[in-house]
Amino acid sequence: MKFSQRDYEGYVTLDLKGKLTGGPEAETFRDLFKSLVQQDKKHVIINLRDIEWISSTGIGILIRGYKTVREAGGEFVIVRVGERTQQVFNVLRLDHIFKIAANEDEAVEFFKKS
């Protein structure tokens, strides 16, 4: 999995690409979220548009990021979930944990209301 960081309407947006499977990227992601929280960037958008599929270890990466942000008082919104990833989210009922939005605009609306 590769990722890049950009700003959308003043909020950190992470564009993930490839296969979300864990491994070395788990540590990179953990460090990134710690760094974001330290910079007081507590609201984060995770764009999964270019994620081909996700494994249970990949879900662990997302949950760790979610917990880091939430413990700092922030919000964590996942956008543009592909069909295959959505199937896994449905089975594990992850929509009960993550805020899932159609796109970045919907995520921003959520941040403004929270």
Burial letters 48-71, b for 16+ CB under 10 A, else e: beebeebeeebbebbeebbebbee
| CB-count exposure of residue 106 (10 Å: 0-12, 13-18, 19+) | middle
Instruction: Say if CB 45 and CB 9 are below 8 A apart.
Output: no
The smaller minimum CB distance to other proteins, of residues 55 and 106, is found at: 55
Residues in region 64-83 near other proteins by CB under 8 A: 64, 66-67, 83
DSSP 54: E
Written as one letter, the residue type at 15 is: D
Stretch 6-35: interaction string toward other proteins, x if CB under 8 A: ------------xx-xxx------------
The window from 7-15, 36-44, 91-99, 100-108 that contacts other proteins (CB under 8 A) reads 91-99
Identified binder of other proteins from the candidate list 49, 84, 95, 102, rule CB under 8 A: 84
List contacts with other proteins (CB under 8 A).
18-19, 21-23, 52-53, 55-57, 59-61, 63-64, 66-67, 83-84, 87-88, 91-92, 96-97
